[in-house]
A and B are shown apart, each in its own frame.
Chain A
Amino acid sequence: MKPFSWHFIRVWQRNRDVFFRLWRSEAPGSIAEPIIILLAMGIGLGAYVGLIDSQKYIEFIAPGIIVSYAMFSATFECTYGSYVRMEFEKIYDAIIATPLNVEDVTAGEIFWGATRSLMTGTLILAVAAAFQLVHSPWALFIPLLVFLEGIMFASIAILFTSIVPSINSFNYYFTLFITPMFFFSGVFFPLSSFPKIVQTLSWIIPLTPVVHLSRALINGEFQLQLLWALTLIIALTALFFSISLVTMRRRLTT
């Protein structure tokens, strides 16, 4: 594996410039959906849900909605977004003929994906706060959490992008990985409602530890278990980030 260098910032800047040139066509959609889900599920479904500790359902799901949609942002950016830039627009080919190397391009894409995650997560947090769903000043660490989460999901996404034969392959990524994770990571219902085996599995899928940390930060309630969650996120991030540097080099320099 070759390391990336600070040059990655050039790719990040390029993506930032394009995003802010076109944000009107992208950003409102990506922020409207989580708010609709939060309100529809929280208020609509919430009227039928009684939680044990008298917490309102909308308060229960808000921390998970924040990190789930942060995940979606990084994931869309580094699957469809990166694939289009790589295969259709041939932008990476142009960039790697400059002093930037493949690793810089890959890292730039990942950090940009994480930045999208940061933007989405922070915006939903602000909306949740406006609805008085945030109860602890620890929530100020949420942007940090969603950025780290963004690096993790962007790395996994770019790894997948670097090996898929066609853009249609992303259907599998979403239907078999992202969507199940959305439902089995404790966003909408506590994991304790599932059989033991599902609970165990749920602890190793990458979104679960993020949901737990988010809930802890927003409610200001911490347990020792969370240390395991943070360790898991950091380990998965380091692992997928490193592998993606290798697979991306293989893809782009044949």
Chain B
Amino acid sequence: MAIITTKNLTKKFNGLLAVEGVSLEIDKGECFGLLGPNGAGKTTLVRMITAVSPPTEGSIWVLGNDLETHSRQIKAVLGVVPQHDNLDVDLTVLQNLMTFARYFDIRKKEAYRRSMEVLGLFELENKRDSHIKELSGGMKRRLIIARSLLNMPKIMILDEPTIGLDPQAKHLVWHKLIDLKSQGVTQLLCTQNMEEATTLCNRVAIMHQGKILSLGTPQELISKYAGNEVWEITVNMEEKKKIINKLNRRGLSFDVIENKIHIFHARADKLAIELIISQDILRRRPATLEDVFFRLTGRSLIE
């Protein structure tokens, strides 16, 4: 059952299309990933779904209600983790949580109980009386995620939740998100971290220049666009052309990055033997979502 439905969602900024005709159905209890390079429109899409940016065209339905007319009720069950820290720097850690709980009309005693609980969850108990400026970047990030849980959300909207976290904190956050999903919390996750998407998401959509290019489970996308294995070969400039011709003749899909060639849908066959003989360096590795990402959105910087 779809818990979030967007129909033909479009956003224009001064005539510029940031999001173009996005129709999505996010199911109850799944973690849905939005992947895309900077400027792909992920954040704009998420801002529309959290009711802080009105769509230019299209509609959004959350829990069966039209967001345009029911924003207050819908926002009451969302847990939003924005990309940029927006903690209340005039308040301490605990005051931040208590004040935030009050925006949701949670009574003081219950707000305190929940605040202490989420601080525990993200190992921030001993920071409860610290000021926000005394926290490290990673602690702030954890506190923002903790804050998003105060209203016991049915849906979490996470815009790059682990950006800037060290590996320990990142895994702590992932672990909590997996826990929450198992408790039935739906998650919409924007990320540029492919490992994160593979670890957490049931389905991912690859977004580029405001549009959804492809959608499926991480495994489906990997099989479709990169196969099971990717071979990376390092070539010198003289051989490069020859090898490219050879690959083209065989109708293989590949990417050339400087003196490296990535071959997708690679299978051990005659080609493999030829390549292994002629090349010094050949690396065989499992295909990842990152390969899919590059194949769909290209390798050049998009700005």
Contact = CB atoms under 8 A, between A and B. Distances in A.
Interface in A84-101: 89-91, 93-101
Interface residues of A, number: 24
Interface stretch (A11-19, A39-47, A168-176): A11-19
A101 B119 CA distance: 27
Given A17-B95, A252-B52, A253-B54, A98 B88 contact: no
Contacts of B104: 98-99
B12 to A, nearest CB: 11
A90 B52 contact: no
B105 A22 contact: no
Given A100-B103, A252-B52, A94 B87 contact: yes
B78 A97 contact: yes
Interface in B25-54: 50-54
B127 interface: no
Interface stretch (B69-77, B171-179, B229-237, B258-266): B69-77
Contact of B82 (A97, A100, A252): A97
A10 interface: yes
Given A17-B91, A254-B13, A254-B53, A101 B71 contact: yes
Interface in B151-192: 151
A253 B53 contact: yes
Tier of interface size on chain B: 20 to 34
- Interface centre among A22, A96, A98, by most chain B C-beta atoms within 10 angstroms, is A98
Given A10-B103, A14-B99, A97 B80 contact: yes
B75 A97 contact: yes
A24 interface: no
A10 B88 CA distance: 14
B301 interface: no
B100 A98 contact: yes
Given A91-B88, A253-B52, A17 B13 contact: no
B269 interface: no
Interface in B68-116: 71-73, 75-76, 78, 80, 82, 84-91, 95, 99-100, 102-105
Interface string A88-118: 0111011111111100000000000000000
15 contacts: A5-B72, A14-B99, A18-B91, A90-B84, A90-B86, A93-B86, A94-B87, A95-B103, A96-B51, A97-B75, A98-B75, A98-B103, A98-B151, A99-B76, A253-B52
Interface of B: 13, 50-54, 71-73, 75-76, 78, 80, 82, 84-91, 95, 99-100, 102-105, 151
Given A89-B89, A90-B86, 19 more contacts: A13-B99, A14-B88, A14-B99, A18-B91, A22-B90, A89-B90, A93-B86, A94-B82, A94-B88, A95-B103, A98-B75, A98-B100, A98-B151, A99-B73, A99-B75, A99-B76, A100-B103, A253-B52, A254-B13
Across the A-B interface, the 7 shortest Cβ-Cβ residue pairs: A98-B103, A90-B86, A94-B86, A97-B80, A18-B90, A99-B76, A99-B72
